């Protein structure tokens, strides 16, 4: 079974620029998650989708972050404008029912 695919793997931008990440979950997984992981910390949930509806976005900084999951499959996460503190790894995960989440390898974002 193919895993969760994320792109790009690395991204370097200057502060105040915009950036977008893409995620393709495992086929058939209804639930999709975006996490932010700062170095030395555990992942922090940004947003959770069930099919193409948002289940939890309580920790998403909505003034600069946005996410969508068109047709309940692929998803994109956007940051506009980026701040220095957004430097982190952005992980996408998917799951089926109450089974453990499967993670992609993430996008490492560096803000200059």
Partner 1 sequence: KNQVEQSPQSLIILEGKNCTLQCNYTVSPFSNLRWYKQDTGRGPVSLTIMTFSENTKSNGRYTATLDADTKQSSLHITASQLSDSASYICVVSAMSNYQLIWGAGTKLIIKP
Residues in the chain: 112
Query: What is the CA 23 to chain-centroid distance, rounded?
Result: 7
Could you tell me which stretch among 18-26, 41-49, 61-69, 71-79 binds partner 1 (CB under 8 A)? 41-49
7-36 residues in contact with partner 1 (CB under 8 A) are none
Does position 54 interact with partner 1 (CB under 8 A)? The reply is no
| Cβ-based burial of 9 (10 A; exposed 0-12, middle 13-18, buried ≥19) | exposed
Q: Does 100 bind partner 1 (CB under 8 A)?
A: yes
Member of 14, 56, 68, 85 binding partner 1 (CB under 8 A): 56
Given its phi and psi angles, is residue 105 left (phi above 0), alpha (psi -120 to 50 degrees) or beta?
Answer: alpha
Q: Catalog residues that contact partner 1 under the rule CB under 8 A.
A: 4, 40-45, 56, 91, 93, 98, 100-106, 108
């Amino acid at each position: 079974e193919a895993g969760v695919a994320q792109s790009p793997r690395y991204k370097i931008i200057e502060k105040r620029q915009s950036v977008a990440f893409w995620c393709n979950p495992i086929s058939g997984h209804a639930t999709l998650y975006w996490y932010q992981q700062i170095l030395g910390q555990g992942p922090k949930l940004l947003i959770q989708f069930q099919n193409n509806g948002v289940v939890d976005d309580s920790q998403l900084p909505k003034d600069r972050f946005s996410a969508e999951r068109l047709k309940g499959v692929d998803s994109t996460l956007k940051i506009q404008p980026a701040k220095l503190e957004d430097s982190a790894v952005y992980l996408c995960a998917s799951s089926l029912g109450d089974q453990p989440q499967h993670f992609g390898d993430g996008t490492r974002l560096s803000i200059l």
